[in-house]
Amino acid sequence: MPTVELLFSAQPEHVRTARLVAAQVARRAGVDEASLDEVRLAVGEACSRAVGLHRNNGVEQPVRVLLNEDEKKFSIEVVDEVPGTAAGGSPDAAEDSAAEDEGEMGLAVISGLVDDVEVIEGDRGGVIRMTWPTVSV
């Protein structure tokens, strides 16, 4: 079970809430203060991308954010419910290429920011998993 699980409807205004929650849980988990800006930005990018995917594909399920505190690491998984997005999105979303470009820019920012990041595509949707080391207090 994750330390904190957050579900929010795919609306842009909730992305800020996800950033704040993620940064606060990361701080408590012992992520270095200097990395908290990265956590905030990376989780915001991942959530913005997920919100865009849900909205462009008419998915009504919420976006899920799983915050996991382990012994020496802290990980965040942002889970969308849109299958096969790595291959360029569903055919329905083809006309909204600007929004997809933004999603790809978001992924580029995440890759630039976070050393340990995995993008997993499944039949039911995608997961962006980002991990940071923690320091014991």
Contact residues for another protein (CB under 8 A)?
12-13, 15-16, 19, 37, 40-41, 44-45, 48, 51-52, 101-102, 105-106, 108-109, 112-113
Q: Choose among 56, 53, 28, 26: nearest CA to 41.
A: 26
Closer by beta carbon to another protein, 70 or else 101: 101
Minimum distance from residue 126 beta carbon to another protein (Å): 17
Q: How many CA atoms lie within 13 A of 88 on its CB side?
A: 4
- Distance (Å, rounded) from C-alpha 40 to C-alpha 61? 23
Minimum distance from residue 10 beta carbon to another protein (Å): 11
Closer by beta carbon to another protein, 105 or else 135: 105
Residues 134 and 72 sit within 8 Å (Cβ to Cβ) = yes
Strand-pairing partners, residue 51, are none
What type of residue sits at position 67?
Answer: L
Minimum distance from residue 56 beta carbon to another protein (Å): 13
Closer by beta carbon to another protein, 17 or else 124: 17
Closer by beta carbon to another protein, 58 or else 112: 112
Strand-pairing partners, residue 116, are 131
